[in-house]
Chain A
């Protein structure tokens, strides 16, 4: 069950001149959620983060944090802090100077300031770096300083703007684990912007898929991946086989029969007969054997790419034409031109309205 909403975004719009950056976005987030705003560039995810942080003011709509309307408040007085994409550290200050900045502004001085700066540096694994200059740090260390600087003032919500974009893959994985750990230990909600769906799934307790200034889908990563709400969310979250079709008949209750190039597929949904629909199926849910619940017919392998843990296989059939993408175990013997009998389980078919 979802906890009570802490950050609430209500029908927020943001226009830059004629350009619509946010087109009526609504969102409710719990006090300990790890929210990931996921979308391609230009989807409005960074604008939404700026609007939550107070760096941009919405053209319409309302934002409340812990029941308080913060829509018109600037970043200085919001209970949020931000980790910027380029970290935006203060280059003329030491590590301790950077981390202590927010405390000095709040009048926390002397031993108390030193204690809290020390605790924050320990939390991000930089104990003993107090006196270092910013220029002496590596990218990952700068990232940690930015985190410590933002967390030391105990914000209710931490905002992260593509924080891992500048790091290499190994460091990114490591920082993902540390971010999750940090979020659990501090018990605060994190709002994290990325365009990387793997990063989103690794971190999020709530994924918000955005496109063209709108929310396409919103939910726990497992649900958003397995049963996306829109075709955009489906393709952005990963590959899938897509069957274009038309609702042939409404069987009893929520059960529909959809006419597709691979025959009539039974799916659950609530649509009138004749509606144009797309059915999607994730690659790992396709079985290369005839024994499955629903037969998908026979297809020829066009391409098989070895990816370490599995083969990524592209297959297709003629008249009526249909492409498939599926995964096969790495020990499988696959040649282009081979015929595969495909099947799947009924529960894995996801109906999307076109």
Chain B
């Protein structure tokens, strides 16, 4: 196709422009956010004067942000661990056993991926109050497990193929119980995928706002703190907190990429 154009370079140049626009559209807000977190003035808007770490210092000195950070770590860690554990068990059961309604059960396990966070958050809030629980971080953990477990399930399921099955059969043949097979053969063999699933779940939980907002009252997670900060007007403080969240997510995604890429090789 390109060969038929009068200027062979034109297509390539057009493509490059298109790509630059796309990436600009995606990353410009992020760059602006990060840039003005280093602002030394009081407004996250041009002109940029800095750089300075003033607002980072302020963020780490802010009790609400630090509490939010700890709560987010707690919620992210426990919900991701639960999601991976449950997802792994579900994937093992689905891939290794034959039972009635298997397809239907698999569909139900994956279903939360398609349900809106608003619906899950509100449903959780209503159910919790109906059961007499007050909104708390534990409810948020449950909510995050609901939305993240399907992801962990799908990642694990993709790893439990035919070769894996034969290796498990070999372990069974040598006398291992199902429990032993799961923990000394299956889990170590797909460990990279399990860690990647954990990191992915953690990243999603780390900046999930809707479920967390609806289901917390006093102890809140970091995104909820930032949301309430924004209500009091924009400040480079929120930029600093946001940039920090972003940095954590990026680091985790790098871990995921490394683990899953190494697997494919």
Interface residues, chain A, with chain B CB atoms under 8 Å away: 53-55, 74-77, 80-82, 84, 86, 88-92, 101-102, 105-106, 149-150, 153
Bound Cα distance A74, B166 (Å): 15
Q: Is the CB of A88 within 8 A of B170?
A: yes
Bound Cα distance A82, B163 (Å): 15
Place the interface of chain B in its size category: 10 to 19
| B176 lies within 8 A of chain A by Cβ | yes
* New A-B pairs, 15, CB < 8 Å, besides A53-B173, A84-B170: A55-B173, A75-B172, A75-B173, A77-B175, A88-B163, A88-B169, A89-B167, A90-B167, A90-B171, A91-B167, A101-B171, A105-B180, A149-B174, A150-B173, A153-B175
B177 partner, pick from A53, A76, A86, A101, beta carbons under 8 A: A76
Q: Is the CB of A86 within 8 A of B173?
A: no
Q: What residues of B have a CB within 8 angstroms of the CB of A74 in the complex?
A: 172
Given contacts A90-B185, A90-B189, A92-B188, contact A105 B175 (CB under 8 A): yes
Which of B171, B180, B188 has the most A CB atoms < 10 Å from its CB?
A: B171
Instruction: Please give me the residue from chain B that is nearest to A152 by CB atom.
Output: B174
Which of B171, B174, B176 has the most A CB atoms < 10 Å from its CB?
A: B174
B151-173 contacts to A (CB < 8 Å): 163, 166-167, 169-173
A76 partner, pick from B163, B173, B185, B189, beta carbons under 8 A: B173
Given contacts A90-B185, A90-B189, A92-B189, contact A102 B166 (CB under 8 A): no
Q: What residues of B have a CB within 8 angstroms of the CB of A88 in the complex?
A: 163, 166-167, 169-170
Q: Is the CB of A106 within 8 A of B185?
A: no
Interface residues, chain B, with chain A CB atoms under 8 Å away: 163, 166-167, 169-177, 180, 185, 188-189, 191
Given contacts A90-B185, A91-B189, A92-B188, contact A101 B167 (CB under 8 A): no
Q: Is the CB of A81 within 8 A of B173?
A: yes
Instruction: Please give me the residue from chain B that is nearest to A53 by CB atom.
Output: B173
Q: How far is the CB of B179 from chain A (nearest CB, A)?
A: 12
Q: What residues of B have a CB within 8 angstroms of the CB of A102 in the complex?
A: 174-175
Bound Cα distance A53, B173 (Å): 8
Instruction: Please give me the residue from chain A that is nearest to B164 by CB atom.
Output: A88
B175 partner, pick from A55, A76, A86, beta carbons under 8 A: A76
Q: Is the CB of A81 within 8 A of B174?
A: yes
Q: What residues of A have a CB within 8 angstroms of the CB of B166 in the complex?
A: 84, 86, 88
Q: Is the CB of A86 within 8 A of B163?
A: yes
Q: What residues of B have a CB within 8 angstroms of the CB of A153 in the complex?
A: 174-175
